[in-house]
């Protein structure tokens, strides 16, 4: 299989195999008018198998959402056909409006204007808690 290179845009590399579609949906890549390629189960010496996403345009990325879904992703910024910058991700300390609290009694389910805020309380394995009701959430 042959996937064209991109001239200016973004390549999301080192995505855990099978998580590419989750990232595609979280970033609303289906709403873009440019070329977007989701490549699943690519052979990788480092990871065994991985997913890749290529976006043929510079777009804003929700780094917190990406770091939450898979903190091992590498973001490659492509300018004039060359990798201009590589950005590794980290597990975000706080997530705002990335997920919704599951607790039916939480203020965020009653008051629609309240932001959904989760804070990292444990790194391995990652555990986030709602800032209002302390409900735990794992990815």
- What are the structural domains, with CATH classification, of the chain? 9-88 (3.30.70.140), 94-137 (2.30.30.20)
Alpha helix segments (H runs only) across 15-126: 20-26, 63-69, 107-110
pLDDT digits (tens, 9 = 90+) for 76-113: 999 998 999 998 888 999 999 988 999 999 999 888 89
In this model, does residue 2 exceed pLDDT 80?
no
Least confident of 4-8, 41-45, 58-62: 4-8
- CB-based contacts of 1: which residues, under 8 Å, 6+ apart? none
Which residues, 6+ apart, have CB-to-CB distance to 106 below 8 Å? 130, 132, 133, 135
Instruction: Give the rounded distance of the alpha carbon of 105 from its chain centre.
Output: 28
């Amino acid at each position: 299989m042959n996937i064209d290179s991109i001239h200016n845009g973004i390549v999301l590399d080192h995505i855990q195999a099978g998580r590419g579609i989750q990232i595609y949906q979280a970033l609303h890549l289906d709403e873009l008018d440019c070329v977007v390629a989701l490549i699943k189960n690519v052979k990788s010496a480092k990871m065994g198998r991985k997913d890749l996403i290529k976006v043929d345009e510079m777009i804003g990325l929700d780094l917190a959402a990406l770091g939450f879904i898979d903190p091992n992703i590498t973001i490659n910024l492509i300018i004039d056909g060359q990798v201009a910058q590589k950005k590794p991700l980290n597990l975000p300390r706080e997530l705002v409006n990335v997920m919704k609290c599951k607790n039916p009694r939480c203020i965020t389910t009653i008051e629609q204007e309240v932001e959904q805020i989760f804070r990292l309380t444990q790194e391995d394995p990652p555990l986030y808690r709602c800032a209002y009701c302390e409900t735990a959430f794992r990815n």
